[in-house]
């Protein structure tokens, strides 16, 4: 690039001079194709100029405009430091001229055109406007969506032009909606047209429509305002109903998190009666297992990333289950029948585990990524459901069903139930109660580890992860009825839903307090929880 | 059952923490007899605050090493005495007392939360020692024994709100915070400030959540709803610590982008972002007095040495680290000026001391025991760093007593003679009274 640089830069200068001349000739009446004026504005290094340049580009009709806007969005639009400043597009093959997309001689040091939120909005508006006439229907649809979101008045002429040519039904209705949204916020629109626009937007019936309608200028005519008020009232009415549904959904989602956190404890505390304060740390270990699995995948086979959680689930189960068995064999088995000592010992274990993780992985949060099938959301009516939450609910139900099946249908499950109900009788029937105890504790811990895999998706992966869940887990198990898995399910779901229904009225802090008060009163009335086990073993 | 459980848990917690602390203190007793100046480090290395405070402990040790390489202070080597108050507020006071009376440290660098600072205050007053406090806080305090090198609200919160008003045209505000003293006071100041700028009551939504909140679905949905009133909306977040990650994850989940509803945070820095995938968060903002991405030779040099010291070439730097560094250098300069480490002499010498900060200027210790700072607004980039989109042209002097609050607008602090008072009321002409 060194030897031809000089002669090329000369031609560059000539080109620049020609462009400058053209700019001068067209001053005040920018021609449809000439965007050099806009390009110069990018080099000024202030946001206002960049925004203005984007506006110019969007309506220029130049074939190069879309590429330039895209480059800016990707942070690839750069300008030279040396005067006269010029704009280039940065690619793997070096710098390109934005108009011709041809390589240019090295202009010396360059820096990117800076972008902030204001510019990002302008980019969205500009690229929406520019792709309204794209041959691809899906691109046009998303362009109409972009125009709807930004509601940029400058996009109106382009939108109307595109609307006249549009043939696809879906795209047409999206464009009509976008046009109506712009019209509502504009000054000097005839009232009939505005009322028609209000009806189009009102028919959407969602929160964005509400935002558009509320943005009606204050100087609108009374009949226009009335039409808008009518639509707003209608939308609010239907949204209020959807709100309840949404809150119940949030409640189920919270309930499934509580269920996941508590279900392991329902075994160690509920079935075995061990007050296991280290339960939260088992969840934490499961989350860290996920982190380690993802690190390994990132290093050795990034293509497997989407499967990382699936791989982590059995590993987390085995690892935390193993830790559980070790804890049971070395500490807890000496403490059966002594709840206070068990409590202190397991609390100590939880501190040891936390500090061990802190020493190995450091005190800061670790990043656990979300696989692509857990990102994003979809809508049912006005209800927005995120895939991540949906999968967690499904996972919680699967874990619950699997655990139930193990306890009901397998030999080890039968032995566990036998040992819980009557240890001595079970022992005389030839069951190795020691071994069953270790396996039961391992099972509970392993399930907590699996919960950790799911919780790593919604919470911090830090040494303190478990502490946030331990109290809630005990609440759920005690509330549901100690020793009853179905009680844990119902307890978790009702606590989740009650919490989420209270929260909008009382706020997060008061809502939580109110819930605790309700539980205290409930436990006073029914000390054994929702589903009390009846029978001799409980009294013993 | 539950009662028994919390009690036993508390006892167990105390016992374990105590044991750990004894072990640490024993380890820090010097083995050699050569005379040194001792520097106390009072940051939690275990418990919930370890996530933030461990880095500051490392920073002080780093500064001590650097200073010793330059020959120490007054011809003596510095020696750091590290204790672990384990995120336990009463233990902060015990450990502070131990540092001052048993280890005879000349100065203490420490505390993160306001409640830990309030808990050690009486100890520092009684034993007359010096505390450098390096974290942004709610203000409404000025003590003779404490030097505040973090931001007061007018050095962080108010410029951030101004930026959103001017550059993003925000008219509607969500003030969301964790339920404790820093967010509550900051939000009170911001609310008064916004109203003084003509923002109406119905355009301000205030929301508090418990510590460690992990389920943000309802609140984020509420924010979305609040933002659909046809006016540009922004969230001012004083959400603390661990609760931030689930909050930002939920924002991304529900599809709220920075171009729709930007969130400006006062407690989220490079360290906090290390635990999140930042791609969906691009454009959300933070206001600090320092970012790792500050483009100055001083900062480049600092990061280089810090990474060499920690032997980790990815280690990030953040605002409280810069504040710790400034505090440390101010103390060194004041000791050299006073020619002694005697607290009374050093406290007097500290006022007016200027040291370079990392954003290319000089920070000065003012008579109110707070320092002058530039304010930077940064947008989150996809690599977890911040793109600085605005920097105040000059340095801003801290208003320790906010002029926007009824109880403190007439108060000033001036620890020089003859005033020598942290809460002088200019109306009544008396020291003390309101605000205390």
Instruction: Delimit the domains of chain B by residue range.
Output: 15-129
CA distance B188 to B206: 10
Is A507 close to B275, i.e. CB distance below 8 A?
A: no
Q: Do the beta carbons of residue A380 and residue A248 sit within 8 Å?
A: no
Q: What is the mean pLDDT of residues B190-215?
A: 91
- Which residues of chain A lie closer than 8 angstroms to B51, CB-CB? 363-365, 462, 464
Instruction: Report DSSP letters for B220-265, one per residue.
Output: HHHHHHHTTSSS-EEEEEE--GGGHHHHHHHHHHTT--TTTS-EEE
Per CATH, domain B15-129 is 3.40.50.2300:
yes
**Could you tell me if A267 and A154 lie in one domain?**
no
- Spatial CA neighbour of B167 closest among A114, A30, A330, A245: A114
Per the prediction, chain B carries an average pLDDT of: 88
Same domain, A395 and A530: yes
Answer yes or no: do A216 and A248 share one domain. no
Assess whether the previous peptide bond of B141 is cis (omega < 30° from 0): no
pLDDT of res. A73 = 86
Residues of chain A neighbouring B228 (CB-CB closer than 8 A): 207-208, 210-211, 214
* Residue B228 to residue A214, Cβ atoms within 8 A: yes
Q: Tokens in use for B86?
A: 């384990």
Residue A510 lies in a domain: yes
Residue with tokens 């021609």: A31
Nearest CB among B2, B179, B389 relative to A116 is that of B389
Say which CATH number the domain at A453 has: 1.10.3470
Are residues A135 and A211 both part of a single domain? yes
Cβ(B239)–Cβ(B220) below 8 Å = no
User: Which tokens go with A267?
Assistant: 């075994």
A80 and A209 share a domain?
yes
A353 with A485, same domain?
yes
Mean pLDDT of chain A: 85
Measured in residues, chain A has a length of: 540
Residue A283 has pLDDT above 90, yes or no: yes
Helices (runs of H) and strands (runs of E) counted in chain A: 21, 6
pLDDT tops 50 at residue A35: yes
Evaluate if residue B23 carries a pLDDT over 60: no
| Mutation site for A-interface testing, chosen from B228, B240, B248, B285 by largest number of A Cβ within 10 Å | B228
Give the confidence band of B24 by pLDDT, cuts at 50, 70, 90. very low
* Confidence class for position B30, pLDDT limits 50, 70, 90: very low
Contacts of A214 in chain B (CB under 8 A): 228-231
The number of domains in chain A is: 2
Contacts of A366 in chain B (CB under 8 A): 275
Whether pLDDT at B106 is above 80: yes
Contact, B233 vs B170, CB < 8 A?
Answer: yes
Residue B370's contacts (CB-CB under 8 Å, 6 or more residues apart) are: B142, B148, B149, B152, B397, B398, B400
More confident residue, B431 or A252: A252
Answer yes or no: is pLDDT of B276 > 80.
no
DSSP B208: E
Residues of A in contact with B13 (CB under 8 A): 347, 351
Q: Tell me how crowded residue A193 is: count the other CB atoms within 10 A of its CB.
A: 14
SS3 assignment, position A36: helix
What is the average per-residue pLDDT within B375-399?
Answer: 91
For the beta carbon of residue A378, count every other beta carbon within 10 angstroms.
Answer: 10
- For residue B302, the model assigns a pLDDT of 96
Partners of B207 in beta bridges: B176
Cross-chain Cβ contact A458/B48 below 8 Å: no
Tens-place pLDDT, residues A134-177? 888 888 888 888 888 888 788 888 888 888 888 888 888 888 88
User: CA of B276 to nearest chain A CA: how many angstroms apart?
Assistant: 5
Query: Do A253 and B208 count as a contact with CB atoms less than 8 A apart?
Result: no
- Percentage of chain B beyond pLDDT 90 is 64
Q: Is the CB of residue A124 less than 8 Å from the CB of residue B259?
A: yes
Say whether pLDDT at B358 is over 90.
yes
Q: Are A183 and A193 in contact (CB under 8 A)?
A: yes
Q: Which residue of A has its CA nearest to B210?
A: A509
pLDDT band at B57 (very low <50, low <70, confident <90, very high): very high
Band (A533; pLDDT cuts 50, 70, 90): low
Q: Is the dihedral of CA A532, A533, A534, A537 positive or negative?
A: negative
Looking at the complex, does the CB of residue B50 fall below 8 Å from at least one CB of chain A? yes
For residue A508, what is the nearest residue in chain B, using CA coordinates?
B209
Helix (H) or strand (E) holding A163: helix A156-165
Cβ atoms of B63 and B54 closer than 8 Å: no
Domain of residue A174: give its range: 38-220
Confidence of residue B21 (pLDDT cuts 50, 70, 90): very low
**Average pLDDT of the residues in A459-484:** 88
Report the pLDDT value the prediction gives residue A482, as an integer from 0 to 100. 81
Considering only the beta carbons, identify the residue of B48, B228, B274 that sits closest to A365: B274
Query: Which of B26-30, B55-59, B294-298 shows the lowest mean pLDDT across its residues?
Result: B26-30
pLDDT of residue B34: 66
Whether A203 has a pLDDT exceeding 80, the answer reads: yes
Chain A positions in Cβ-Cβ contact with residue B387 (cut-off 8 Å) = 114, 116
CA distance B255 to chain A (A): 8
Predicted complex ipTM: 0.79
- Which pLDDT value is given to residue B433? 53
Are residues B4 and A247, on separate chains, in Cβ contact within 8 Å?
Answer: no
The model's confidence at residue A191, banded by pLDDT at 50, 70 and 90, is confident
A298 and A442 co-located in one domain: yes
Contacts of A521 in chain B (CB under 8 A): none
Chain A and chain B share a number of CB contacts under 8 A equal to: 162
The DSSP call for residue A370 is P
Least Cα separation, residue B409 to chain A (angstroms): 30
Say if residue A354 is in the same domain as residue A502. Answer: yes
From the centroid of its chain, how far is CA A325? 35
Q: Do A358 and B50 touch (CB under 8 A)?
A: yes
- Mutation target to probe the B interface, by most B beta carbons within 10 A, among A273, A500, A508 is A508
Rounded Cα distance, B258 and A406, in Å: 47
Between residues 366 and 385 of chain B, which touch chain A (CB distance below 8 Å)? Answer: 379
pLDDT of res. A490: 94
Residues A298 and A381 in one domain: yes
How close B235 gets to chain A, by Cα (Å)?
A: 14
How would residue A419 be classed by pLDDT, with cut points 50, 70 and 90? confident
pLDDT at A32: 43
Question: Which residue among A500, A504, A508 places its CB closest to the CB of B208?
Answer: A508
Gap between the Cα atoms of A89 and A79, Å rounded: 8
pLDDT greater than 90 at residue A379: no
Alpha-carbon gap: A399 to the closest alpha carbon of chain B (Å): 21
Q: What is the mean pLDDT of residues B204-214?
A: 89
The region of weakest confidence among A450-454, B11-15, B117-121, B199-203 is B11-15
Residue B60 reports pLDDT greater than 70: yes
B258 touching A, CB under 8 A? Answer: yes
CB-CB contact of B187 with B175 (8 Å) = yes
Q: Say whether A118 and B168 touch across the interface (CB within 8 A).
A: yes
pLDDT category of residue A529 using cuts at 50, 70 and 90: confident
Q: Judge whether A206 and A382 are in contact, CB under 8 Å.
A: yes
Confidence at residue A310, expressed as pLDDT on a 0 to 100 scale: 94
Q: Which two tokens stand for residue A281?
A: 């740390």
Among A34-38, B98-102, B218-222, the minimum mean pLDDT is found in A34-38
Phi, psi of B297 (to 5 degrees): -60, -35
User: For the segment B306-343, what is each residue's pLDDT rounded down to a tens digit?
Assistant: 999 999 888 889 999 999 999 999 999 999 999 999 99
Contact B275 A369 (CB under 8 A): no
% of chain A residues with pLDDT over 70: 92
pLDDT score recorded for residue B8: 44
Residue B380 has pLDDT above 50, yes or no: yes
Pairing of strands B131-133, B430-431: unpaired
Q: Do B219 and A508 touch (CB under 8 A)?
A: yes
**Residue B243 pLDDT class (50, 70, 90 cuts):** confident
pLDDT average, residue stretch A508-532: 87
User: Which pLDDT tens digit goes with each residue over B220-232?
Assistant: 989 988 988 878 9
* Subunit contact B222:A504, Cβ cutoff 8 A: yes
pLDDT tens readout for residues A312-352: 999 999 999 999 999 999 999 999 888 899 999 999 999 99
Residue B242 sits at the chain A interface (C-beta within 8 Å): yes
| Bridge partners (DSSP) listed for residue B386 | B380
pLDDT at residue B32 greater than cutoff 70: no
Instruction: Tell me how far CA of residue B102 lies from CA of B38, B76, B105, B394, in angstroms.
Output: 11, 20, 8, 43
Residue A29 covered by a domain: no
pLDDT of residue A129: 84
More confident residue, A283 or A186: A283
> Is the Cβ pair A503, B209 closer than 8 Å?
no
Highest mean pLDDT among A183-187, A209-213, B98-102: B98-102
Contact (Cβ atoms closer than 8 angstroms) between residue B46 and residue B87? yes
**Cα(A387)–Cα(A389) distance, rounded to whole angstroms?**
6
The pLDDT-based confidence of A48 (bands split at 50, 70, 90) is confident
Beta-carbon neighbour count of residue A101 at 10 Å? 11
b/e for B363-400, b at 16 or more Cβ within 10 A? bbbbebbbbbbbbbbbbbbeebbbbbbbbbeebbbbbb
State pLDDT tens for residues A482-508.
878 899 999 999 999 999 998 888 888
Mean pLDDT for the stretch of residues B197-204: 93
pLDDT of B264 above 60: yes
Residues A452 and A510 in one domain: yes
* Chain A residues within an 8 Å CB radius of B242: 365, 460, 462, 464, 468
Tell me what pLDDT residue B132 has: 97
**B222 — contact with chain A (CB < 8 Å)?**
yes
Mean pLDDT of B354-368: 94
Query: In the prediction, which pLDDT does A59 show?
Result: 80
Q: Which are the contacts of A138, defined by CB distance < 8 A and separation ≥ 6?
A: none
Nearest-CB residue to B8 (from A118, A343, A358): A343
Specify the pLDDT at position B80. 96
Same domain, A153 and A185: yes
Find tokens 């002694």 and name the residue: B340
Q: What is the DSSP string of A401-466?
A: HHHHHHHHHSHHHHHHHHHHH-HHHHHHTT--HHHHHHHHHHHHHHHHHHHHHHHTTTS-BSTTTT
Cβ–Cβ gap A386/B209 under 8 Å: no
Provide CB contacts within 8 A for B279, sequence distance 6+.
B382
pLDDT number for residue A33: 56
- Please report the residues numbered 8 through 37 in chain B whose beta carbons come closer than 8 angstroms to any beta carbon of chain A: 8-9, 11-13, 16
Does residue A530 lie within any of the structural domains? Answer: yes
Residue contact A504–B228, C-beta within 8 A = no
């Amino acid at each position: 690039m060194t030897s031809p640089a000089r002669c090329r830069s000369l031609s560059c200068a000539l080109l620049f001079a020609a462009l400058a001349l053209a700019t001068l000739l067209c001053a005040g009446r920018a021609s449809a194709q000439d965007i050099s004026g806009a390009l110069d504005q990018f080099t000024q290094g202030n946001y206002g100029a960049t925004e203005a340049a984007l506006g110019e580009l969007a309506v220029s009709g130049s074939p190069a405009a879309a590429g330039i806007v895209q480059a800016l969005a990707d942070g690839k639009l750069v300008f030279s430091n040396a005067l006269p400043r010029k704009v280039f597009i940065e690619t793997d093959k070096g710098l390109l001229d934005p108009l011709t997309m041809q390589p240019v001689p090295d202009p010396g040091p360059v820096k990117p055109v800076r972008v902030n939120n204001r510019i990002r909005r302008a980019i969205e508006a500009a690229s929406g406007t520019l792709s309204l006439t794209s041959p691809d229907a899906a691109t046009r649809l998303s362009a109409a969506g972009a125009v709807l979101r930004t509601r940029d008045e400058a996009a109106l002429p382009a939108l109307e032009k595109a609307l006249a040519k549009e043939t696809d039904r879906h795209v047409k209705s999206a464009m009509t909606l976008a046009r109506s949204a712009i019209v509502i916020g504009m000054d000097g629109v005839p009232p009939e047209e505005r009322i028609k626009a209000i009806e189009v937007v009102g028919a959407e019936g969602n929160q964005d429509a509400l935002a558009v309608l509320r943005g009606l200028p204050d100087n609108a005519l009374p009949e226009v305002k009335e039409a808008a008020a009518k639509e707003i009232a209608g939308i609010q009415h239907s949204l209020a109903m959807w709100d309840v549904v949404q809150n119940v959904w949030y409640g189920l989602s919270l309930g499934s998190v509580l269920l996941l956190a508590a279900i392991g404890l329902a075994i160690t505390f509920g079935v075995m009666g061990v007050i296991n304060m280290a339960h939260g740390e088992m969840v934490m270990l499961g989350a860290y297992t996920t982190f380690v699995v993802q690190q390994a995948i990132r290093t050795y086979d990034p293509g497997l990333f989407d499967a990382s959680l699936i791989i982590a689930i059995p590993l987390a189960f085995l690892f935390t289950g193993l830790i559980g068995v070790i804890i049971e064999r070395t500490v807890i088995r000496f403490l059966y029948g002594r709840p206070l000592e068990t409590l202190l010992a397991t609390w100590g274990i939880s501190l040891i585990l936390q500090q061990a993780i802190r020493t190995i992985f450091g005190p800061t949060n670790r990043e656990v990524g979300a696989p692509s099938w857990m990102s994003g959301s979809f809508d049912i009516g006005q209800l927005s459901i995120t895939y991540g939450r949906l999968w967690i609910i499904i996972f919680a139900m699967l874990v619950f069903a699997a655990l139930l099946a193990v306890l009901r249908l397998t030999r080890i499950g039968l032995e566990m139930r036998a040992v819980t109900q009557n240890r001595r009788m079970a022992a005389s029937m030839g069951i190795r109660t020691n071994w069953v105890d270790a396996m039961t504790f391992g099972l509970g811990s392993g399930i907590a580890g699996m919960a950790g895999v799911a919780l790593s998706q919604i919470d911090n992966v830090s040494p303190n992860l478990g502490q946030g869940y331990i109290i809630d887990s005990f609440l759920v198990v005690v509330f549901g009825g100690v020793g009853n898995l179905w009680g844990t399910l119902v307890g978790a779901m009702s606590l989740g839903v009650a919490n989420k229904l209270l929260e909008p009225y009382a706020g997060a802090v008061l809502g939580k307090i109110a819930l605790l008060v309700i539980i205290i009163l409930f436990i006073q009335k029914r000390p054994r929880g929702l589903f009390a086990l009846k029978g001799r073993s409980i009294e013993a | 059952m539950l009662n028994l459980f919390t009690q036993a848990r508390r006892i167990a917690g105390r016992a374990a923490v105590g044991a750990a602390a004894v072990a640490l203190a024993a380890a820090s007793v010097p083995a050699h007899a050569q005379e040194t100046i001792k520097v106390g480090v009072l940051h939690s290395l275990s418990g919930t605050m370890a996530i933030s405070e461990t880095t500051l402990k490392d920073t002080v040790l780093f500064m001590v090493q650097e200073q010793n390489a330059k020959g120490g202070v007054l011809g003596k080597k510095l020696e750091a005495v590290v204790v672990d108050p384990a995120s336990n507020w009463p233990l902060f006071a015990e450990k502070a007392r131990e540092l001052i009376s048993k280890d005879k440290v000349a100065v203490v660098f420490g505390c993160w939360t306001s409640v830990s600072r309030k808990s050690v205050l009486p100890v520092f007053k009684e034993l007359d020692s010096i505390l450098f406090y390096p974290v942004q806080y709610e203000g409404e305090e000025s003590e003779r024994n404490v030097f505040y090198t973090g931001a007061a609200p007018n050095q962080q919160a108010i410029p951030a709100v101004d930026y959103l008003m001017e550059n993003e045209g925000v008219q509607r505000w969500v003030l969301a915070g964790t339920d404790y003293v820093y967010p509550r006071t900051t939000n009170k100041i911001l609310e008064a400030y916004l109203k003084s700028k003509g923002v109406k009551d119905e355009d301000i939504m205030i929301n508090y959540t418990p510590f460690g909140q992990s389920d943000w679905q309802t609140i984020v949905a509420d924010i979305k709803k609040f933002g659909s009133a046809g006016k540009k909306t922004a969230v001012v977040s004083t959400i603390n610590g661990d609760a931030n990650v689930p909050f930002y994850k939920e924002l991304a989940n529900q599809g709220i982008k920075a171009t729709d509803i930007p969130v400006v945070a006062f407690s989220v820095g490079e360290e906090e972002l290390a635990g999140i995938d930042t791609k969906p968060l691009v454009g959300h903002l933070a206001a600090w007095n320092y970012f790792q991405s500050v483009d100055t030779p001083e900062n480049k040099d600092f990061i280089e040495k810090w990474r060499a010291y920690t032997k980790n070439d990815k280690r990030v730097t953040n605002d409280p680290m810069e504040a710790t560094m400034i505090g440390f250098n101010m103390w060194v300069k004041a000791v050299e000026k006073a020619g002694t480490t005697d607290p009374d002499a050093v406290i007097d010498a500290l006022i007016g001391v200027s040291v370079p900060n990392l954003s290319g200027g000089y920070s000065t210790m003012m008579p109110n025991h707070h320092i002058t700072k530039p304010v930077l607004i940064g947008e989150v980039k996809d690599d977890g760093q911040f793109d600085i989109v605005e920097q105040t042209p000059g340095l801003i002097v801290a208003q320790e007593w906010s002029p926007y609050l009824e109880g403190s607008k007439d108060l000033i602090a001036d620890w020089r003679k003859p005033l020598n008072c942290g809460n002088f009321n200019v109306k009544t002409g008396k020291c003390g009274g309101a605000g205390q």
